Amino acid sequence: MSEYVIEIDSLTKIYKAGKTEFKALNNVSIKIRKGDFVAIMGPSGSGKSTLMNIIGCLDRPTAGRIVLDGENISTLSDNELAVIRGKKIGFIFQKFNLIATMNALKNVSLPMVFVGASRGDRDRRAGDLLEKVGLTNWATHKPTELSGGQQQRVAIARALCNNPSIIFADEPTGNLDTKTGEQIMELLVALNKEGKTVLLVTHAISLKRFANRVINMLDGEVTEET
pTM score, whole prediction: 0.92
**Cα separation values, 190 from 73, 118, 136, 154, 198, Å:** 29, 29, 18, 16, 11
Q: Residue 1 above 80 pLDDT?
A: no
Cα distance between residue 140 and residue 106, in whole Å: 8
> Going from the N-terminus, what domains does the chain have, and what CATH number goes with each?
37-58+77-225 (3.40.50.300)
Q: Per residue in 188-223, pLDDT tens?
A: 999 999 999 999 999 899 999 999 999 999 999 999
Number of continuous H segments (helices) and E segments (strands) in the chain: 6, 10
Q: Residue 2 above 90 pLDDT?
A: no
Q: Per residue in 109-136, pLDDT tens?
A: 999 998 889 999 999 999 999 999 999 9
SS (H, E, C) 122-161: HHHHHHHHHHHCCCHHHCCCCHHHCCHHHHHHHHHHHHCC
DSSP for 3-31, written as a single string: SEEEEEEEEEEEEEETTEEEEEEEEEEEE
**8 — pLDDT class (breaks 50, 70, 90):** very high
Half-sphere exposure of 133 (CA within 13 A, CB side): 31
